[in-house]
Amino acid sequence: MTNADLDTRIRACDRCPLRSGCRSPIPGDGHFGSRILFIGEAPGKNEDIEGVPFVGRSGKLLTSILQDLGLERERDYYITNIVKCRPPDNRDPSPAEIAACSGYLVEQLELMRPDVIVTLGRFSFNFLVPNRGMTQSRGQCFRIHGVADRPLSFAPVVLACYHPAVALYDPKKRGIITEDLSKLPEIIASVQL
């Protein structure tokens, strides 16, 4: 199976009620062959309209931070969400919605096999690294061997990071997000060893 095949399956998905309230499921965007994968929680209004993840205000902030660090989406990373359809009124995805969609994320992980996964916010972090608080874990790395009781055929490193939306409400968080993301070159170098 290729990424294009998986994208086609994701776009045709109707596993949960979220599908009826959005324009289309959004598989992801960027360079699928890169070593870095960013995972958020779910598309928002702008993402649903454009069919691309992280293009709204928080996405533009994240893109700006990453560009300042020399990272470009089309060259250096791929970005997706746990839930591929927009929840109504941008509410948090429910456990049932995450369960319905998470198989696609696991398939993306296995196809892409990124060295580093950056979780953006508590939903994606707790999906990959359960039973840990986001505030205490942000900026730290965790090696994982499975996701949602499913073993992975590789062992990526997970970097816990705040969702960029928090910096829209608390501008001090931008510095924290930048500090955490600036660790990526060092993390990638250490994974190569």
- 137-182 pLDDT, tens digit each: 999 999 999 998 899 999 999 999 999 999 999 999 999 999 999 9
Domain borders along the chain are 3-192
Say what the pLDDT of residue 90 is: 87
Averaged confidence pLDDT in the chain: 95
- 35-70 pLDDT, tens digit each: 999 999 999 999 999 999 999 999 999 999 999 999
pTM: 0.96
Q: Class for domain 3-192, per CATH?
A: alpha beta
| Percent of the chain residues past pLDDT 70, beyond the cut | 99
Secondary structure of the chain in the HEC alphabet? CCHHHHHHHHHCCCCCHHHHHCCCCCCCEECCCCCEEEEECCCCHHHHHHCCCCCCHHHHHHHHHHHHCCCCHHHHEEEEECCCCCCHHHCCCCHHHHHHHHHHHHHHHHHHCCCEEEEECHHHHHHHCCCCCHHHHCCCEEECCEECCEECCCCCEEEEECCCHHHHHCCHHHHHHHHHHCCHHHHHHHHHC
